[in-house]
Amino acid sequence: MSWTAKLARRPNLPAALLRGIARFSGVYLYNDAGDVLYATRELLGVHTVSGGDRTFRLPREVTAVYDLFERRVLARDTNQFRVKLLPASTALYYTGAAVFPSTLR
């Protein structure tokens, strides 16, 4: 097993620099916007300060992307999706197998 350590001599490195180090190290990144993200196999939570158009790339293709707050399907059979987020907003998406028909209303 081989690995490389990165040492920072100063605190509070810019988020863009940390994302670059993560990308170089092989960490999966859902987007590059600098939003706060929480992800599990079937959930993606995002909080944004600035808002705007976002494209989220998923680590695998999913059957459905469902907005849990808006209660609507955003995409099907995909590994990415686009949304427009309001400033200072939070969103939660289900990203997994087929959504039950009763939730598609």
Task: Enumerate domains of the chain plus CATH numbers.
Answer: 29-97 (2.60.40.1180)
Name the pTM for this structure: 0.81
- Cα 6 to Cα 9, 21, 62, 76, distances in angstroms: 10, 8, 34, 39
**Quick check: 40 and 85 in contact, CB under 8 A?**
no
Strand ranges in the chain using DSSP code E only, listed in sequence order: 36-39, 43-48, 52-67, 72-85, 89-96
Give the pair of three-digit tokens for residue 32.
């590059």
Q: Record the tokens describing residue 2, joined without a space.
A: 């081989």
83 within 8 A of 31, measured Cβ to Cβ? no
Q: Which tens digits make up the pLDDT trace of 20-79? A: 988 888 888 999 888 999 999 999 999 998 999 999 999 999 999 999 999 999 999 999
* 3 state SS of 21: helix
Instruction: Give 74-91 pLDDT, tens digit per residue.
Output: 999 999 999 999 999 999
Residue 22: the pLDDT is 87
